[in-house]
Amino acid sequence: MKENLFGKHLQEVGNHPKCINPATVLELQDKNVSVIPNTNPSATHRKNNKSDPPTLKSFNTSTLSSLGGSLRQITIASLAYITEFLITKLEEEFQFIQSNSKAVDSLQMTTNLTNSRLITLKYISNFQCFCIVNKKIHTNFYKAEQILKRLENMINILKSVAAQLKSENQSRVLTFFEEAECYKCFLKLFGQDLMSQDYFRKYGSEVWKLIRDLPRPSELNEKSLVPMYERIYLFIYGISLPSPHADDYPLHKAIFDSNLPLIRKLCTGSTSSNFYCSIEQADPSGLTPLMLAVKLNRKDIVLILADHGADPKHRCIPYTRTPMEEAISNKQKAILRILLVVNHHQTVQRWDHSKAEIMDILEKTPDFSFEINWECDSKYIPFVKKLTPSDTYKIYKKGSNLRMDMTLLGWNKLKLLRGNVSIVLQGRGSGKHEGQLLMIDNIQKTVSNLLTDINLKRLDTELERLIKQEPYSSEVKSENVHFDPAKNWKGDVIVQKIENYTAVKHNAKGTFSLMYTKKNSNLNLDLTKVQTFTEYFAMCLQNQVWAATEEPTRIYFLFLS
């Protein structure tokens, strides 16, 4: 029943932006079905303790009224119980991924599955909303090896926490009013080494939310811990669903209040007022910190966020703008210049991180050279070949060196950009040029390094072009692509001898479409109408975003309860 319910509701939104609707989570929880596949309840705890779980304690609210706040308390035994629960669940996930690593690595949206946990993972890995990781950049993020590393890191942190808690008096009570006081309690209890690690700070943040949101603090049990585990589970898979609590967005608040010192501390994780925040975490309206700074036209804050790794091309919700597209739409020249330079530097960093792996793959591959001829044709529309793009790619590989010649450089709106260029990867043995990616313009007789050279004159030209263009984007989609052996007029497969290799000629067939769409703004929030962050967050809650309707200009969202 669990699997059918889960698959049924996900399929309702599966055709749109490849995302799952948290309304599914809400409905499943109402039916007492967990989104994260449960295992044998008897194996939930690492310790077979027959006694009731430890409880959270709280004072009588009438006693606290004079103190002007809600006093929260948690015992060491309760913390130990929570930690052991998380360790058990994450270890189960680790073992599952480890046992099914091949299946995990081959997951696609079209993959037919019967295993409920693999079905869950399939939809999560294709989830395109409220991601704190850009999957187009981190292409191996959902590979089994990377998932196991993240799970192992979190498990090791939790085991360190559990070991520390064992050495403490189990009846000891931690008392605090706000998150900052909870942070100080944890810092004193666990030390600076653990507190300096992101995974521990995420754990601390979730413990604080549990204590803050638990309706009846005395009823700490497995059921009350499931939402906390699910948030940590999604965090490991690069997803942070929005919260209805304004306090869960300290970076957004600091940006709205123009608190530059606090922004820097939050970006580096050095603040003592909050456990954890992600620089790519979006608020309920779908605005990331960088997008909010762009909308507020705060150049200084944009510079700080970009300097700490905020991605100018991160799209939180499908069909909405990236920070760079927002700056183009608003004609914000100074901010767009910053984002262009930052995007270039981030591209260089990503290349430096991956170039060794790419050259290793090239070295293991036999040397080759071949040509790819492609063109568009139609049985029904005349002159398609003359009106549509075509090109011949010539590719040469030797050792870890690679070269590709082409004449089709891209599109500007629907106009083809032609030239004659060669892209060259300087492989190992190239001395100081090793790992460089060069573009040779065979017409202009120039050579430029694609990853290190920033031509300020060219940058200004590109800046002017972007500012003048309409907020459109193009996307090439391919469907039903398949390769069939080419045959001659007799019906025989065409075979050719190429450098002592017997090669069979294949024709690639499929449907390719160029989608040319106008980008929608992030719900066009009018920030001039709000004066405080409280007012801003209220506006966010009124413009919550999630599953798109037939009109991709308005997206609605149901909170995960």
Whole-angstrom distance, CA of residue 421 vs CA of residue 439: 7
Do 184 and 159 reside in the same domain of the chain?
yes
* Distance, C-alpha 340 to centroid of its chain: 20
Q: How many residues are there in the chain?
A: 561
Residue 330 domain-assigned? no
Do 255 and 235 reside in the same domain of the chain?
no
Do 362 and 383 reside in the same domain of the chain?
yes
Q: Which domain holds residue 102?
A: 2-241
Do 272 and 215 reside in the same domain of the chain?
no
Per residue of the chain (561 residues), give pLDDT as tens.
433 333 333 333 333 333 434 333 333 334 333 333 343 433 434 444 444 566 555 444 444 434 445 888 899 999 999 999 999 999 999 999 999 999 998 887 777 888 889 998 988 888 888 999 877 778 788 999 999 999 999 999 999 999 999 999 999 999 989 999 999 999 999 999 999 999 999 999 999 999 988 866 566 888 889 999 999 999 999 999 899 999 999 999 999 999 999 999 999 988 888 999 999 999 999 899 999 999 999 999 999 999 998 999 888 887 788 899 899 888 888 999 899 888 888 888 888 878 888 899 889 888 888 788 777 766 666 666 666 677 788 899 999 999 999 887 766 655 667 788 898 999 888 888 888 888 888 888 888 887 765 666 667 777 777 777 665 555 555 666 677 888 888 888 888 877 777 888 887 777 666 555 555 555 567 888 899 999 999 999 888 875 433 333 333 333 332
Do 129 and 218 reside in the same domain of the chain?
yes
Angle between helices 179-190 and 198-213 (to 10 degrees): 130
Q: Report how far apart the first and last C-alpha atoms of the chain are (Å, whole number).
A: 21
CATH number for position 536:
1.25.40.20
Residue 22 domain-assigned? yes
Residue 335 domain-assigned? no
Antiparallel, parallel or unpaired: β 401-412 and 415-425: antiparallel
Domain count, the chain: 3
Do 42 and 172 reside in the same domain of the chain?
yes
Whole-angstrom distance, CA of residue 278 vs CA of residue 291: 14
Evaluate the CA torsion angle 544, 549, 552, 554 in order and state its sign.
negative
Nearest of 280, 339, 284 to residue 459 by alpha carbon: 339
Residue 499 domain-assigned? no
CB 287 within 8 A of CB 315: no
In three-state secondary structure terms, 284 is coil
Task: Kindly list the distances between the CA atom of residue 34 and the CA atoms of 44, 127, 555, in Å, as whole numbers in the listed order.
Answer: 14, 18, 25
Do 227 and 271 reside in the same domain of the chain?
no
Residue 505 domain-assigned? no
503 φψ region: left (φ > 0), alpha (ψ -120 to 50), beta (else): beta
Do 169 and 54 reside in the same domain of the chain?
yes
